[in-house]
């Protein structure tokens, strides 16, 4: 037999064996979790909730009591065979003690290099979590839908393409994200506020901005709304394609330009640092109550 023919036959045989092995491994599972289930943990005041979820949703809301209640729902759209394999292999891990509850979603991956079958599906894990109001929240995900409401602890979020809404919270907030939208509504900052993004649009409505607020974007927009009587020390710096606008009377110490503004509002107060390369920044008054 010609060497090239034998080589081709060998490669084909190996591909078939690998495909069969992958198909077998897809059917091997242990301790499969149901599609919808709930876990409850008792914690002390000031505990921390830490969540890692690549996609799907992470929704956290504060409530009375001393328990963290986690409602887990696995969502899948695709073929029946892929559904069975995915549902059996996606895992939600929990670790807890009185001061901390950690939730981590482990998604299955296709490990077969020479698989001949094409798999087309959409899937994710939805997490609806109730926590005691005085809980610190740390969230990490690539593109989940993120919402946090009615908590009275510090919030830290890292994401890539996650749309997020933080509403009616009290405490420090730290956000590091890349795209999509960041909305903070009816928040009261205690300590510091930090939002860093590349192409995300941020809209912030705050009763108080805390000790300092550091807001930075490259190509997105930033809109900050605060009460008319808010005291601010403003430090804005932008690139050639940036813009700055404000409703407030600003006592400027540098003069006013579209690229650099430093001055005070209402005799000063919160240190407000605003940075953008090619984006727009607006500082607006809240009319009436939030």
pLDDT tens figures, 157-181: 999 999 999 999 999 999 999 989 9
Tokens of 84: 């069975």
Candidates 222, 203, 228, 230; CA nearest to 285 is 228
Tokens of 28: 């091997």
Residue 124 lies in a domain: yes
Burial class, 223, CB count within 10 angstroms (exposed 0-12 / middle 13-18 / buried 19+) = middle
Q: Please provide the average confidence, as pLDDT, over all residues in the chain.
A: 87
Neighbours of 84 (CB within 10 A): 15
pLDDT of residue 218: 87
Average pLDDT over residues 45-74: 97
Residue 215 lies in a domain: no
Is residue 22's pLDDT more than 60?
no
pLDDT of residue 24: 41
Is residue 117's pLDDT more than 80?
no
DSSP 170: B
Residues 239 and 277: their CA atoms lie apart, in Å, by: 4
pLDDT of residue 119: 60
Selected residue with higher pLDDT from 51 and 6: 51
Range of the domain at 147: 1-162
Residues 219 and 118: their CA atoms lie apart, in Å, by: 37
Average pLDDT over residues 3-19: 49
Candidates 207, 211, 221, 216; CA nearest to 285 is 207
pLDDT of residue 16: 45
Residue 122 lies in a domain: yes
Is residue 2's pLDDT more than 80?
no
Which secondary structure element, helix H or strand E, spans residue 256, and what is its range?
none
Burial class, 78, CB count within 10 angstroms (exposed 0-12 / middle 13-18 / buried 19+) = middle
φ/ψ of 134, rounded to 5, equals -85, 65
pLDDT of residue 69: 98
Tokens of 271: 């240190």
Residue 177 lies in a domain: no
Question: What confidence category does residue 110 fall into, taking pLDDT thresholds of 50, 70 and 90?
Answer: low
Percent of the chain with pLDDT over 90: 71
Average pLDDT over residues 215-233: 95
Is residue 15's pLDDT more than 90?
no
Residue 184 lies in a domain: no
Residue 11 lies in a domain: yes
Question: What confidence category does residue 116 fall into, taking pLDDT thresholds of 50, 70 and 90?
Answer: very low
Residues 61 and 58: their CA atoms lie apart, in Å, by: 10
Tokens of 82: 């892929």
Residue 101 lies in a domain: yes
Residues 225 and 285: their CA atoms lie apart, in Å, by: 5
Residue 44 lies in a domain: yes
pTM score = 0.84
DSSP 229: T
Candidates 187, 42, 161, 243; CA nearest to 174 is 187
| Cβ(234)–Cβ(271) below 8 Å | no
Query: Could you give the number of structural domains in the chain?
Result: 1
Tokens of 58: 């992470």
Residues 84 and 91: their CA atoms lie apart, in Å, by: 13
Residues 232 and 262: their CA atoms lie apart, in Å, by: 10
Question: What confidence category does residue 129 fall into, taking pLDDT thresholds of 50, 70 and 90?
Answer: very high
């Amino acid at each position: 037999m010609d060497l090239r023919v034998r080589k081709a036959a060998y490669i084909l045989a190996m591909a078939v064996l690998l495909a069969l092995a992958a198909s077998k491994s897809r059917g091997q599972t242990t301790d499969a979790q149901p599609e919808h289930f709930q876990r409850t943990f008792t914690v002390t005041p000031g505990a921390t909730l830490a969540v890692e979820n690549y996609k799907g949703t992470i929704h956290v809301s504060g409530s009375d009591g001393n328990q963290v209640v986690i409602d887990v729902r696995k969502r899948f759209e695709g073929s029946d065979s892929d559904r069975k394999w995915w549902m059996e292999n996606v895992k939600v891990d929990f670790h807890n003690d009185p001061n901390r509850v950690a939730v981590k979603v482990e998604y299955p991956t296709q490990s077969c290099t020479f698989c001949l079958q094409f798999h087309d599906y959409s899937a994710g894990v939805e997490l609806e979590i109730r926590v005691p109001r005085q809980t610190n929240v740390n969230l990490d995900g690539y593109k989940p839908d993120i919402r946090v409401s009615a908590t009275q602890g510090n919030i830290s979020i890292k994401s890539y393409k996650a749309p997020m809404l933080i509403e009616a919270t009290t405490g420090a907030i730290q956000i590091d994200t890349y795209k999509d939208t960041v909305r903070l509504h009816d928040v009261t900052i205690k300590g510091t506020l930090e939002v860093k993004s590349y192409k995300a649009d941020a809209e912030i409505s705050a009763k108080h901005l805390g000790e300092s607020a550091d807001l930075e974007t490259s190509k997105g927009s930033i809109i900050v709304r605060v009460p008319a009587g808010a005291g601010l020390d403003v430090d804005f710096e932008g690139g050639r394609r940036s813009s700055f606008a404000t409703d407030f009377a600003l006592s400027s110490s540098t003069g006013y330009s579209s690229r650099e503004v430093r001055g005070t509002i209402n005799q000063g107060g919160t240190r407000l640092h605003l940075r953008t390369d090619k984006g727009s920044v607006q500082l607006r008054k809240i009319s009436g109550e939030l």
